[in-house]
Each structure stands twice: as C-alpha cells, then as structure tokens.
Structure 1
C-alpha cells in the first residue's frame, strides 16, 4: 500500500472520519470516500494543511492510537544538507458529531522565526448515496451552500427547502482574518491562515474543533461513556478466539448508536458497519443480537424494540412497506428525506420479519423473563400475519420476494445483483423463494407457537402455527431437495424451478432446523469439502461453478457471519468436528487482521496465500462480523 492509498478510520458515538496518511481529507468519492460523516452525510470534505506554502509529508504516517484517535508526524520537504525547518505533530480525534485536532509545530531552527500555516476547509454535505461508485446522479433543486466567517473560525450552512445542515470550525488561537481567503477556483471552501511566532527551537500549538450539526436529531454522547474493552466477565482466556471475542465486543461498542424504541424511549443498538451502514439494519442487527445473546441479552431487547417501532403499517410500493413487515434499513440523509432514494425506511428484505420472531423467542428462552415477549405480542402477531399474506406463505407456499428495480434486486442476505443464480450464472427471476428464508420462516412459526403457549396463553393460535410450520417443512423437503446433488437448491424461481447453484445458504437450514437429521448432517459435511471450504471459511458459492468468482460480493467470497450461522447449525446437529474446523479457520483469519474479522474476505484457498486475501470493499468494523467470534464460542461450547 502506498502513502496515497493509506487510510485511517476513526469512529465513536455514531460519527466517523476517514483520513489520509498525513491526516488530510481531500474529498474523495467511490469505494473509500474520506471525510467526516454523521447521519448519512459528509460534514467535512476538505482538510488540507500547508506550512510556509508547501504541503508537509508524513514522516510517520497517521496511525490509530485508539479506535477514536490517530496521530502522525509531518515535515516540509527537506534534504540531507537542508533538513526540514519544522516538525508538525498532529493528533486527531472523533466523538459525537465532533472532530478535533491538535497541531504542535516545533521549530528545528536556532533562531526565532514566524511560521505560516494554511488550512483549506470545505463541507460539501454530500449524501452517502452520492459518494458511492455506482454511476447514479441526483438532482438537488434549490440547494444552496454558504460559508460565514466567525470570530474564531468558520461556519458552513447547507439548505434545501426544509432541509438544513451545518458544520462549524472553531480555532484556538483564532486565524488571521485578513489572510483568510476563498479558494481558487471559487467555491465554499476557505483557507484559514495563522502566523505563529516560534522561539529558537521553540514550539506553538493550534487547537481546532469541527462540529457537525446534521438535519434532525442532534448527535450526543451516551451519559456514561462506553468502554473500549469489555471486562474479564465477558470472555475468559488469552487464546486467539478470546482475543477475537474481545475485539468484537469492542467493535460492537464502537458501532452502537441511539435510536427510538417502541414506546418512544431511546435505545442503543449496533449499527451495521462503516463506512456505508452506520444505521439500523433489520437483518444485520437481528443476527448480531442473536450471536450476542449469551453474553449481552440487553442488545437483543434494544434491537427488538427499535424494529417494533419501525414495523410496517401500510402499503407503500416505493419503500416496500407492508403491514407487519420488519424494516430492512433506515436512513437519515437528504436523499432519503426527499424520497429520491427509497431507504428512509426501506422494507426490501424477505428475511428480517421471520428473524424478528426468532430473536424474540430466543431472547425469552435466554433470559427466562416473559415481559418483552408479552410487551411485543401484538408486533409478533403482525409479523406472522405478514409472512402468511404479503410475505407469500399462503399464496405461494413460501416466503417470496419480487426484485425491486428501484431498490434491491435480491432481498435475502445475498442482496447483490446476480447473487441468486443458476449454475450457469443466470439470475433467478421472481417471485423468488430463497432457501434460507424458508428455514427462518419455519423456525419463526415453531418458536412463536411456543410463545403463544407459554407467554400469551393462546393454545389454538399455537396449534395453527405448528400446523403451518409442519406443512412448510414437508413442502420444502420435496421442492428444494436436489437428489442428484444431495443438496438443497439455492432458491425456487417464479416458475417453480430449482435454482441449482451450490451455495452456502444451505448451511442456514441446519441452524433453523427445517432439514431432517439425515439431510442436515449430509449438507453439513458437504460444506466442508474443498470446493466450499477455503481453509479460512466456507465460500458463498462452491468453487468450480461457472458463476464462481473469489472476489465477488456473494458468488465466491466468504462471509464470517454466514459461517457463524453455519457453525451454530453444525453444532445443533452434532457435527462438532466440522464446527471446530470452521471456527479454526475464522479465528486464524481474524489473527491476521488484529483479531478483527472484516465483513467479507476473498474466496482464495488458504494453501495458496500467506494470509486471507481482503475483499477490496469490505466494511470494517462491521457488526455481524464483530459478533461472529461470540457465535463461534457458543457453537464450540454446544459441541
């Protein structure tokens, strides 16, 4: 990696910043945009320093000292015979809607001198969806940006109709007002200037604070700061799995954000990941919470409350909202506000609703306290109603989705275009019934029947749910099983044809319990064959098939959370050796990443590489990857 490619990412309290090797922000876009981000918008898009008119270089590149603080050492260009006149020590931190910087400039000269520092600053307020490299462009009629000089810095304002965002920059000491200039070419950026007097071998300090003021809800730190690490009660030991668990719990803390719960209370839930998903995601938050249940059951309670609060109430084709449906993702940015993208509350997920029911029962089963299950009874019944009606169980016999051209083509966890495909690589056409969603639906019906019996005291309802679960399982074993492959189909397409690619989704069927014992054990062992298992993890698609690509998002890469679900399924069916193999590969992969598992890794074979090959666009930290080591620990203990 070159210095130009080097990036540092800091995160704390629903705010994150991405910086270059020299601590700079240049306004990049694409797969790794830099800047200060809060509530789906970039509040700082340029932050570029010069000393005596030249850009300093990184003598020590920016390095994260903690999860929210980085430091680097800069100097102007010099030579052996003409060494740099100054050294700049730069420390940068991020918090709830804030970015702070401390610059200490040290003179290397034997005589007093005045150093000139210039800092070019801009805030473009770009929506995250504008920054993605997907060739989409969005009009912003009536949008206006303004910059105002203050006694100690600048204030950037952005307005569009009823939308208003702002970013302020406060400086100690204040910049020279006479020397503060607009950029060339003209724009909203401004260059702040200081002339700092330095004694012989002396130094001066400059303190800068940037505050993001996003539209809507202000960003605040929790009343009690969350720890960077969990205490020893969470996980015991010093082995690599324990270190991965500790790193995972710390990452969950970093990704925790405040949202509104079902009764209007504030709850704190794990956002999906950085840089693109620092928000509530139904599927991600549900599986993350499930993995954490034995260690942090309160996370599941918070997630269930947040998802009940956003549960669908009406039919809206644009967002996919339907009564009883659990939300896929929520967004707070400008484009969602003006409905230029459907993601303000987007419901395009076929699996979040059954997973909501699975987690509700699992939480009750773990804590043996019926209060939450009783409180959310109405929401649970609405979720069941959705599965039976709009979800498709009555009409199609399965949970189905129709590809959404304005949102997600695929609405299961493999939600990239082309991910649900035949062996020849052809994308399935809808209505599509993906295999793992049927397993989730089966499990949801069985578990909700138990709640109906034990908590809601409604035996007739429990009986109807068990009967529906039994019929679903019987249909599934007939329609999805591929006798020649000895393996379940990835999906059924709209014509009822088996989508015959061999995919990791089959492992989720072990976790949900929809397969009989013989088929489950056969599938579990098949997933550990070399075409599936890379040595690091089980691939999303078995190698050797036409659509396989080790660097694709869902057609040959390997996802830690996918493997965690599979490991729990292997343990459920007594395949302890296989569960240990999966856990061992993932723990070894985590050790190569500072014990932090990324969202996804490439599908290359372990024997061919010294370490796991990174997937180039992976989120890190990412919530369900962070929780994966805890799920692995649970699977190993069950085995």
Structure 2
C-alpha cells in the first residue's frame, strides 16, 4: 500500500481509504483504494464534502481495525473552524459502515450542506495492477437506481451480476447525478449553537454468486466489536512467552491478523471451511503455498487452520491436465480467484496450478498435522488425495524422469513456480536467469520431507508397509542425488537451482535455509550452511536476505533478490534449531522481532535488504502486502524454534 492508504480487513473483504477516510478511485502506480470483495472493487469513490469543499484531516486515519479521523474546513489561523467532523469507518463481511458526527463550533445556529459522493466501478483487481493490462468486456452494462434511503449500483456482463447498495440514516435529502456515473447523497443539516448532528452510512456488497445479502453491522463500533471478539477467541489459550514481551506482542498481533485474514472455502464434501488467505491488498484469497506454510507455522498453537486448509486444497486438487491452468492430475492448486476476469477465462487464475512446491507442502502439512494432533480420521479421509499428490511428484513433477521436482516457465502465468516466483528470481550470482526445466533447491527439500512424512502416515495410519518402504527409498535416493548435484564445494553452499541442462545456478540464496527445515542436508553440510547464513552479507540485522549482498544480482529493493522475507526467515530459524544451531536461530529470531517491534509488532510481507548497521530502522519494501498470513504466523514459528529466549 502507499502511505496515503489505510487498510481495513475482515475475512474476504477489505477497504483502503485515505488519510481523511475518502476513496478517490484514481489509478496510480501504487495499490488502489476502494472497497473490495472477492477480487472486485465494490466502492470506487467515497468522498465527503461540506458546503462543496473537501475538509482537511486534523487527525488523519491511523492504522487499526477501525479508521478514525477528525476533519475541519480548510482555513487560516484567523479563521477558527466553523465545524468539526468526527469520522469513523469499519468493514464487515461484504460490508462497509461509517458514522459521521458533525459538531458546530459556533455560538449561533448554523446550516451546512454535507454530501457523500459514491460510485462502484466493479473493476477486477487484475485491471488495477500497475502493468497497464486491459481487458475487453463485451456487453458489460452499469446502472444506478435511487432508493428512498440511498442508491444502488448494478453491473452485468452476460450471466455475471454484481451489486453495491448504499443506504443512510437519516435518509439523504436528495441524490444528485454528477455527470460521471457517480451519485451524490446530500443532507442539509441545521445545527443549533454548538449543536451536533449524526449520520450513519452502510454499504452492502453483493458479488456474483453470493448466496444471500450480507448482514451489515449497525455501526463501526459494532463491526469493531465483532472483529475484536473474533480475534480474542482465536488467540485464546496460546502460551505467549513471559520472558520476551516483544515476541509475545508479535505473536498476539499475528494471531489477530490471522483471525481477520480467514476466507471461506469449500471442502471435498461441500462443507464450508475457513482458511487463511494469503494477504491484503492483492492476495485476499486462497493460495496453496501460503495457506500451507501459515498452517504449518501455527500448527502447535492453532491446528484448526491445518484441519481446514488440507480438505480445502484436497477439494481443488487437479484431476486432469490443462495447459492454461498448468494443471496435472494430483497437483495442488496455487491460486484460486473469484473475479470476473477469472470467470470468463481472461486470466488463468480461477484455479491456477503454477506451483512446484504446493503439492509436497500439502503432504508435509498432512504428516505434521497427524503427528501433532493424532487425528487419524482426516489422514484416512485424505488418503486418496495424498496418494494422488505423491503420484504427481513421481510422474508429472519429475522425480522419476529427472530425479527432481521440475517446473518450466508458464508464458501466460508465472515464469518461476517456487516461492520466489517473480521474473528473474532464480538466477546465477551474475544475474543470468535460469532457463529450461528449472529444479529449485527448496522444492527438493520439501519433496524429501513429503516423502518421509507420507511414508510414516502410510505405515502408521494406512497400514501399507510396501508403499511406506517405497517412499522411504525414494526419499533416501533424493537426498543422495541432491548432495551430489547441488553442493558447490568451492563455496561450501548449495546451488539455488539446476537449470534445464543440469548446470548449477550458483547464486548464494536464502533457500538453503529451507533445506535445513526439511532436513535434506547431512549434519556437516547443514552446519556449514546454517553458520554461513548469519554472516554479514546474508544477515542484514533484521533477517537473512533472499540473496547475499556483494553478488551482481543483489538489490536491496528487489522482491526476491536481496530483500528480507519474514516467512523465509521463520523457516530458516526452524531449520537452524533442527540442526542444533540454537545461537544462530536466536539471532534470526531477535532480528525479526526487532523489525516487528519497530512496525507496531506487525511483520509485513517483505522488508528491504538494507543493513541495520547503515539504517537504524527497517526500510519498508514499497509494494509489500501490509497484512500477510505467512508473516502473521512467523512469530509463532519463532516461538517454536527458540521458545521465549
């Protein structure tokens, strides 16, 4: 988000508003403002004026679950404000609510004309990205209908229908056309000397396919109370560390964010589930890899996330091959979208399978969940899905034919299909991009762990000793091959990947820490890698950089070639602890917790790679998701890795 937007999130709904609570709808280089539900913008303009002028923010909106600001008319020192407006906003599921309290500062009766200009453009989020893509929408129509207490906006394109309803109490004195498609709700307020008037506005979004109209909270206070109750219930019983209050605060903030970031999904039998969305603003939806890692981090404390994520992903597991969706039988979905462009096939992300690592991570989470909870029922229920996932790894995934999990660039989707999925993220130290069939190191670690954990489930739950032995043999063979083909003896470090010719992609990257988490490296190699990750070119003081500084490919503001990712570091900390490198694990944990403390105890998706020795505060990455589920769960992983030390 840009610094002028403030984010309100509840389930699959989020709003981004400016310092004064307005929504401009202007498209720029940053993230757009508006009210968004299921990938569509249901409120594209929301602007308050008094006597035809936009008031200024005396107290701008601050970050929080409710947007509050104080507004006054523009003027000089010799013109004390004639009125003050106290504005409060919040979101609920498919809803946006606002209260306005207008107070006269004059000792005489005062009349003011207050107006709220509203519009809904129903733009798909993919249209609002800064890559200037455009999409044809043949036959699309928009209409507006004035109501007794507000206005309704409708959108239709073929069978696709969306609606936004704005109502107010008291009802506006009039609803005016603006010439742009927006509508202006107008009130004439007669204020007694130092008197006050109050207005309540409610916005209901009904996206395509919504089964029923949303239940709109009565007020921002009511919406906030609902969210606080949800957050409190979700965090109840988690044993926060008493000896490290900063980590405790980061865990509490993360759990609160996880409570608000859950979206609805459907299980294999049609049951409704609540699963962690990836993050807001761009990814408030189910992303396979993100939901799996979030659930893994939270597993010792909130196993219900895994209990929902696993069947939700089983329900979307691919059963056939599709070129546009990159689907293959047994593959776990990467991304699920609900917007208009996905519905009409104009983007491939309705169900998109461009991930090489979601499938092994599905198996890792299943094994870890059963081990943690003893829930044999879910392990038996998902046995066909787990076997299909193993089948994909061995067949289409490449383990049998190539010896490793393999992906190829998808021209219509993602060029890279591991967690570092930006173009150019998988590169050599000199910046040369890997080409051909790429075998990313981290994915091989996940595959190794998946084979071992599924072997354990097969033996202890499914009672299939032959299958378990087969998987254990495959895991052992993978480990031997990996240490032969990926290890760079002259650098005492594994390659980031192998390219299509089997050549090592030699950038020094944080992905090596994932190999510690998976247990793929033997003890000697693991200890070398773990200590290397804490050297100054890797460790910024806030965390381990995605790419070590000093390489030609490094850039501190690159998305995946020099930045610091909290979830990446959480995996590294868990891996360091696994190999007995507890001092190093504590070093990573302290860096991340300090970064969270500097940002109000909330870890963003990613921060810049600048060193702590050159800048005393963590530098934000300019396009990071402000709320991100893996980052929200990262403090819980740190708690697992190092306790309250």
The Cα of 1:321 is off from its aligned counterpart by 1.2
Partner of 2:140: 143
Partner of 2:209: 216
Helix, strand or coil at the partner of 1:318:
coil
Partner of 1:41: 40
Partner of 2:299: 293
Change in Cα spacing, 1:567 to 1:233, as seen in structure 2 (3 Å) is closer
Matches within 5 A, 1:407-446: 407-446=413-452
Structure 1 alignment gaps of length 5 or more: none
TM-score (norm: length of structure 2): 0.96
Give yes or no for contact 1:313–1:322 (8 Å, CA) kept in 2.
yes
Give yes or no for contact 2:363–2:389 (8 Å, CA) kept in 1.
yes
Helix, strand or coil at the partner of 2:46:
strand
Give yes or no for contact 2:563–2:607 (8 Å, CA) kept in 1.
yes
> What do the CA deviations read for 1:456-514 (whole angstroms, capped 9, x no partner)?
01111111111111111111111111111111000000111100111000110111111
Partner of 1:562: 568
Give yes or no for contact 1:572–1:638 (8 Å, CA) kept in 2.
no
Partner of 1:247: 253
The separation in 2 between residues aligned to 1:479 and 1:638, in whole angstroms, is 38
The separation in 1 between residues aligned to 2:553 and 2:104, in whole angstroms, is 59
Matches within 5 A, 1:604-615: 604-615=610-621
> What do the CA deviations read for 1:120-153 (whole angstroms, capped 9, x no partner)?
1111111111111012111111111111111111
The separation in 1 between residues aligned to 2:158 and 2:238, in whole angstroms, is 51
Helix, strand or coil at the partner of 1:631:
helix
Residue 196 (str. 1) matches residue 189 (str. 2) = yes
> What do the CA deviations read for 1:508-544 (whole angstroms, capped 9, x no partner)?
0111111111001100111111100001100000000
Of 110-119 and 298-307, deviating more is 110-119
Partner of 2:220: none
Partner of 1:181: 176
Give yes or no for contact 2:206–2:214 (8 Å, CA) kept in 1.
no
Matches within 5 A, 1:28-427: 28-29=26-27, 30-64=29-63, 66-67=64-65, 69-177=66-174, 180-183=175-178, 186-218=179-211, 226-229=229-232, 230-237=235-242, 239-427=245-433
> What do the CA deviations read for 1:224-280 (whole angstroms, capped 9, x no partner)?
965333235442426101111111111100101121112211111110000001110
Helix, strand or coil at the partner of 2:177:
coil
Partner of 2:23: 25
Change in Cα spacing, 1:544 to 1:172, as seen in structure 2 (3 Å) is same
Change in Cα spacing, 1:557 to 1:222, as seen in structure 2 (3 Å) is farther
Residue 590 (str. 1) matches residue 590 (str. 2) = no
The separation in 2 between residues aligned to 1:217 and 1:145, in whole angstroms, is 19
Of 74-83 and 607-616, deviating more is 74-83
Give yes or no for contact 1:8–1:62 (8 Å, CA) kept in 2.
yes
The Cα of 1:637 is off from its aligned counterpart by 3.7
Partner of 1:16: 14
Partner of 2:477: 471
Change in Cα spacing, 1:426 to 1:222, as seen in structure 2 (3 Å) is farther
The Cα of 1:312 is off from its aligned counterpart by 0.3
The Cα of 1:163 is off from its aligned counterpart by 0.4
Change in Cα spacing, 1:131 to 1:433, as seen in structure 2 (3 Å) is same
Change in Cα spacing, 1:287 to 1:56, as seen in structure 2 (3 Å) is same
Helix, strand or coil at the partner of 1:175:
coil
The Cα of 1:221 is off from its aligned counterpart by 7.3
Change in Cα spacing, 1:221 to 1:556, as seen in structure 2 (3 Å) is farther
TM-score (norm: length of structure 1): 0.96
Give yes or no for contact 1:145–1:156 (8 Å, CA) kept in 2.
yes
Residue 483 (str. 1) matches residue 482 (str. 2) = no
Give yes or no for contact 1:13–1:220 (8 Å, CA) kept in 2.
no
Give yes or no for contact 2:95–2:216 (8 Å, CA) kept in 1.
no
Give yes or no for contact 2:363–2:386 (8 Å, CA) kept in 1.
yes
Aligned length: 631
Helix, strand or coil at the partner of 2:68:
strand
Helix, strand or coil at the partner of 1:244:
helix
The separation in 2 between residues aligned to 1:506 and 1:13, in whole angstroms, is 34
Change in Cα spacing, 1:450 to 1:232, as seen in structure 2 (3 Å) is closer
Matches within 5 A, 1:525-536: 525-536=531-542
The separation in 1 between residues aligned to 2:641 and 2:543, in whole angstroms, is 15
Of 23-32 and 473-482, deviating more is 23-32
